[in-house]
Amino acid sequence: MTASAYISGAAMTAFGKLPGFSSLDLQARAAEEALQESGLARGDIDGLLVGYATTAPHLMPATRFAEAFGLRPSCAYGISVGGATGLAMVALARHLVAAGAARNVLVVAGENRRSGQSGASVTRTLSEVGDPLHEVPNGASVPAYYALAASEYMHRTGVSEEDLAELAVLMRRHAVATEGAQFRDPITVDDVMASRPIATPLKLLDCCSVSDGGASVVVSGAPSGSRTALRIAGTGESHRHQHMSSAPQDIAEGARIAAAAALRMSGHSIDQMGRAAIYDSFTITLMMLLEACGLSEPGGTAADARAGRFDRDGGTLPLNTHGGLLSYGHSGVSGGLAHLVEMVRRMREDEASASSRTPLSFLHADGGVFSSHVSLVLEGGA
């Protein structure tokens, strides 16, 4: 029998402009809250995973955090898989627990990316996403790379810029209802269409922002405390390429592979999922990943959004109910981990209110330019 792993605590800070907090401060704030929620003591934490922070690069981010936070774990690792890092740490925490290497793993992310980022670190980070030999000297950077993926996808499917805008509007609608979200003023498709051009077809409101913030979860070998046990029922990964020039013809291929692996492990099908959280660095990222993971038909995402399928209230598959990276905010690794924290909150709420929603959720994130992929399936009511 495969050992099980559960989410025993989950917390995140508000996202946005939080001057006066260092990256370590934000990590500690989120971790303290996640730990309290788990009901565990510092001495119970024997595994630690800490995501990279571009504003506070460190040789040993996990060891550094352990010292500051008063932990002496038996295993501790700093992790870097770009935007997939948050979910990758949760998958790895599950593997550590399943292997018997740790009983309670604290997963931590946080950085003051908005307040603490220097021009030099922006350029360095961007240059690591583009191929130094074949891409970076052309000029342009990450938004333009996703714009290229969008152009090819739209040419193939006939999806329009208004269709993409629909997802920005949906994320904003969810953020309006979420305390701690960076952007809480409602927007319309017209607002998105009229926003400043970045790289066609992407405009400012198709792109996530840059935020300060932190997020943290505790992964345990046994359900802890009185809260609903949320089991990590499936994990799947795929790492197909780093740079766009080396991507497969089907650039979202990695998402298909990771999703299939996570579903296979969970023993559930994608149609059974009651909720979804999908990485949304850009509207096009969200659309292509939703379709690659099988949550929407190819080219059908915008119609699903217009029909209310992804709505926080009343939707059959509520999606990124905190507002996602596009509107809750994007603070490096904690941006991706926030999707999971939000999912945990909503699944617990479902359980507490005896909701008829199926207690199964699907999460997916990519890092780079559709380069690294991680999928998770969470199962409630265990």
Interacting residues toward another protein by CB under 8 A: 122-123, 126, 131, 133-141, 143-144, 147-152, 155, 196-202, 241, 244-247
Nearest Cα residue to 280 out of 163, 128, 168: 168
Complex with another protein: residue 193 or 270, whichever CB lies closer: 193
The pair of structure tokens assigned to 265 is: 């492990």
Q: How many residues does the chain have?
A: 382
State in angstroms the smallest separation of the CB of 309 from another protein: 29
State in angstroms the smallest separation of the CB of 5 from another protein: 33
Complex with another protein: residue 123 or 269, whichever CB lies closer: 123
- Residue 115: DSSP 8-state: T
Pairing of the two strands 104-112 and 212-220: antiparallel
State in angstroms the smallest separation of the CB of 197 from another protein: 4
Is the alpha carbon torsion for 363, 308, 178, 287 positive or negative? positive
Complex with another protein: residue 48 or 247, whichever CB lies closer: 247
CB 104 within 8 A of CB 40: yes
Complex with another protein: residue 4 or 283, whichever CB lies closer: 283
State in angstroms the smallest separation of the CB of 142 from another protein: 10
Nearest Cα residue to 1 out of 98, 92, 119: 98
Which positions ≥6 away from 354 have C-beta within 8 Å? Answer: none
Complex with another protein: residue 200 or 269, whichever CB lies closer: 200
Complex with another protein: residue 138 or 272, whichever CB lies closer: 138
CB 317 within 8 A of CB 309: yes
State in angstroms the smallest separation of the CB of 257 from another protein: 16
Pairing of the two strands 372-379 and 212-220: unpaired
State in angstroms the smallest separation of the CB of 193 from another protein: 15
State in angstroms the smallest separation of the CB of 210 from another protein: 12
User: If you compute the radius of gyration of the chain from its CA atoms, what whole number of angstroms results?
Assistant: 19
State in angstroms the smallest separation of the CB of 185 from another protein: 22
- Residue 201: is the preceding peptide bond cis (ω within 30°)? yes
CB 248 within 8 A of CB 371: no
Which positions ≥6 away from 246 have C-beta within 8 Å? Answer: 131
Complex with another protein: residue 140 or 260, whichever CB lies closer: 140
Complex with another protein: residue 147 or 169, whichever CB lies closer: 147
**What stretches of the chain show up as alpha helix (H) in DSSP?**
23-38, 61-69, 85-98, 119-129, 142-157, 161-176, 189-194, 253-266, 283-292, 301-306, 324-327, 333-352
Nearest Cα residue to 193 out of 207, 174, 209, 206: 206
- Residue 270: DSSP 8-state: G
State in angstroms the smallest separation of the CB of 364 from another protein: 23
Complex with another protein: residue 152 or 162, whichever CB lies closer: 152
Residue 7: other Cβ atoms inside 10 A: 33
